[in-house]
Structure 1
Amino acid sequence: MGGGAARRHIGGAERRARLALRHRLAPQARAAGPEEVAEALVALHGTDPATVFLAVGARLAEPGKTVAQTERALYEDRTLVRMHGMRHTVFVFPTGLTAVVHASTGIAVAARERAALVKDMAKAGAPDAAWLAEVEASALAALARRGEATAAELAGDEPRLRTQFVYAAGKSYEGLHTVSARLLKVLGVEGKVVRGRPLGSWTSSQFRWAPAPPHPELDAAAAQAQLLRRWLTACGPATEADLKWWTGWRVTEVRRALAAIGAREVALDEGTGYVAAGDEEAPDGPDGPWAALLPALDPTAMGWQQRDWYLAPKLRPALFDRSGNVGPTVWWDGRVVGGWAQRPDGEIVWRILDGTGAGREAEAAIGAEAERLRAWVGPTRVMPRFRTPLERELAG
């Protein structure tokens, strides 16, 4: 890694300028389609299905095409794929990145998930690993024949998927698990299956399953280096703590990947930070102040562990749930200044929180973004999966 006494300082203002353009949030940087948005951000949070569409729509030059373009990319062209990634979380990735994500983060998690399933079944007296392997092969063959299927449809082809076993017998959290639910989750983390088209609208969380797109098997260290370079180019500068948190890797893996890509050290207000090689100099900034309404779990709002440079600590109690999930946020010129929600009648309501310094210019721009959002969402009711105090209050 590059370093030395001459490290350039990158302050919050420059970081916000980078974010405005690289995250396609300033009007001049808006994208033509969802693939362009995903490439710019590396990954879109997919835990809440609506987040994917809302995050794309906030960054499109023509948001009226958000739903149609994103559904086409996910379910017809397959240029985007919803799959498990960093921190054992579901994301939407550009299809060309799936091999990198699988090798860099998925394989290690998958091994733990499969071992846990076999162990839990053995404790419950359920059939053994050889039986599970037979069921798995049969289920994957059925999915290949169908192309897409729900868990229930696969169980119709392979009835052993309906087998149940008791999890954590005698514990306060004892539960009855079904082989299909646990096995499909393992296969997803292993990169063998991905989530396909939902049963309902674009806000539905009930997905069909589909065979994963074929991809080459990559060396784990090389894949980690490639993923880190992509993310630093999109989100740098970042601290080691940011990188460890976003990837979910061990600190030794983060440091190895930083060295492999020749990352450059810079000075941040939080301490030592890193940028990709060749990205040390200050880039051009946006044409002027900008506003955005970003959804719960948006990849920009959740992009860094250390967030003071764009989100004041005093705002967090209103905007995060107890598990650390961010709700819908209102942005003004690179900072979070409030939150928004949708009421049952479809109205988009927002509030600038006290002490943010956002004035009349901000209010006018935020109001325009709220109308822009309302226009393309239309009658669809969007409620975040993880609700936050301000969102609940505004939604009424």
Structure 2
Amino acid sequence: MGGGAQRYIGVAERRARLALRQRLAGPARAGTPEEVAGSLVALHGTDPATVYLAVGARLTDPATTVTETGRALYEDRSLVRMHGMRHTVFVFPTDLTAVVHASTGLAVAARERAALLKHMATAGAPDAAWLKEVEESTLAALARRGQATAAELAQDEPRLREQFVYAAGKSYEGVHTVSTRLLRVLGVEGKVARGRPLGSWTSSQFRWAVAPEHPELDIAEAQAELLRRWLAVCGPATEADLKWWTGWRVTEVRRALAAIAAEAVTLDEGTGYVAGGDAEPVPTPDEPWAALLPGLDPTAMGWQQRDWYLTPELRPLLFDGSGNVGPSVWWNGRVVGGWARRSDGEIVWRILDAEGVGREARAAIEREAERLTGWVGTTKVTPRFRTPLEKELAAG
């Protein structure tokens, strides 16, 4: 993983890398959603609005955000929403789905199917052979329909409506429907993917579609490829960052680092890693830049150790209790505040860390707010995971 003296990469250079490679500085912005997703490796998809807001923040012409992102997701299928790292829903470039599935999905899929069979058996529900029949029938129905909701699929396969009691006698006892659990398992296994939503681009109710076919890859090779792509965008990163982002065991992280000949560098936190040949200095953006990024944005959530771009004192206001970041305001590579959209459509923001945030910065942030308002229009946008500052600003 590199020999000789380790080069030191300081905070200023890390912020410069972030600005350019995360498509946030003005000249680095992209022309299409595919370029954005390809540059970032993955867009958080747990909150559907995040995908569009993250893309719009990085497009040269944000007016095309909704139409072009919808085209990529649901017409060209050049982007796919699927489970990935840490069992989280992301949007990936379609050509990366095989890598994600092999590197992170297979292990999670095995656990999910085993858990479903265990819960069904405990509840006295039908066995694995029965579930296999339902699964095959469901996939055949989905192939015929192209896209469908769980309710529509249940018209073709009525057994999807059957229910079983989960955790009987426990405080968290509940009733699960076969369709809900089975489609989730099939999604993690890479057999189905989320299709077009029932409502607008902010809707969290999706149809299902047969997942794009992809080759089965060697797990270790897929992990090496995923790590190589991520380090090219987000490096340098510590081993702790890599383990957190991928959700892998530390042995898998180290194996992948060795496989791609990653180079060790020195960071303020200790040893970090960059992709092979990427340790040389990068230029600072010619102009200072501002950005309004959505909750769960991949830049704000990209590293576990965030002190180099986020003052720890800001976390209680900008994160929820589960560690999900809310809408954030950026100035020159660091988080300086947060923003929200009120019910009347106004974008409001607040500076929490005023160091270095003068008149130029505030004017640039206001321009970004106007830019965002321009393409979002009248659409109501409320983060799925609400944070203290966002709720306060939204309430007015």
TM-score by length of 1: 0.99
Counterpart check, 1:184 vs 2:183: yes
User: Which string of whole-angstrom CA distances, capped at 9 and with x for unpartnered residues, describes residues 332-359 of structure 1?
Assistant: 0000000000000100000001444311
Flag as ranges the 4+ runs of structure 1 deviating above 2 A.
354-357
Aligned partner of 1:198 in structure 2 is: 197
Aligned partner of 1:66 in structure 2 is: 65
Does the 8 Å CA contact 1:296/1:327 hold for their aligned counterparts? yes
Aligned partner of 2:309 in structure 1 is: 310
Aligned partner of 1:94 in structure 2 is: 93
What amino acid maps onto 2:209 in structure 1?
Answer: A
Task: Measure the CA separation in 2 of the matches of 1:285 and 1:74.
Answer: 33
Aligned partner of 1:3 in structure 2 is: 3
Task: Measure the CA separation in 1 of the matches of 2:3 and 2:271.
Answer: 10
Aligned partner of 1:128 in structure 2 is: 127
How many residue pairs are counted as aligned between the two chains? 395
In the superposition, relative to structure 1, how do residues 134 and 390 fare at CA in structure 2: closer, same or farther (>3 Å)? same
- 1:42-81 residue pairs with structure 2 within 5 A? 42-81=41-80
Aligned partner of 2:264 in structure 1 is: 265
Secondary structure of 1:50's partner? helix
Task: Measure the CA separation in 2 of the matches of 1:21 and 1:57.
Answer: 16
User: Which string of whole-angstrom CA distances, capped at 9 and with x for unpartnered residues, describes residues 48-79 of structure 1?
Assistant: 00000000000000000000000000000000
Aligned partner of 1:141 in structure 2 is: 140
Aligned partner of 1:279 in structure 2 is: 278
Secondary structure of 1:282's partner? coil
Aligned partner of 2:212 in structure 1 is: 213
Counterpart check, 1:375 vs 2:374: yes
What's the Cα RMSD here? 0.6
Secondary structure of 2:147's partner? coil
Task: Measure the CA separation in 2 of the matches of 1:21 and 1:41.
Answer: 11
What amino acid maps onto 2:106 in structure 1?
Answer: I
- 1:305-384 residue pairs with structure 2 within 5 A? 305-384=304-383
Secondary structure of 1:195's partner? strand
Question: Structure 2 unaligned runs (5+)?
Answer: none
Distance apart, 1:38 and its partner CA: 0.2
Percent identity, please.
Answer: 81
Task: Measure the CA separation in 2 of the matches of 1:3 and 1:303.
Answer: 27
Task: Measure the CA separation in 2 of the matches of 1:371 and 1:215.
Answer: 41
User: Which string of whole-angstrom CA distances, capped at 9 and with x for unpartnered residues, describes residues 193-242 of structure 1?
Assistant: 00000000000000000000000000000000000000000000000000
Does the 8 Å CA contact 1:3/1:266 hold for their aligned counterparts? no
Task: Measure the CA separation in 2 of the matches of 1:151 and 1:87.
Answer: 25
TM-score by length of 2: 0.99
Secondary structure of 1:318's partner? helix
What amino acid maps onto 2:41 in structure 1?
Answer: V
Counterpart check, 1:293 vs 2:292: yes
What amino acid maps onto 1:291 in structure 2?
Answer: A
Task: Measure the CA separation in 2 of the matches of 1:357 and 1:19.
Answer: 18
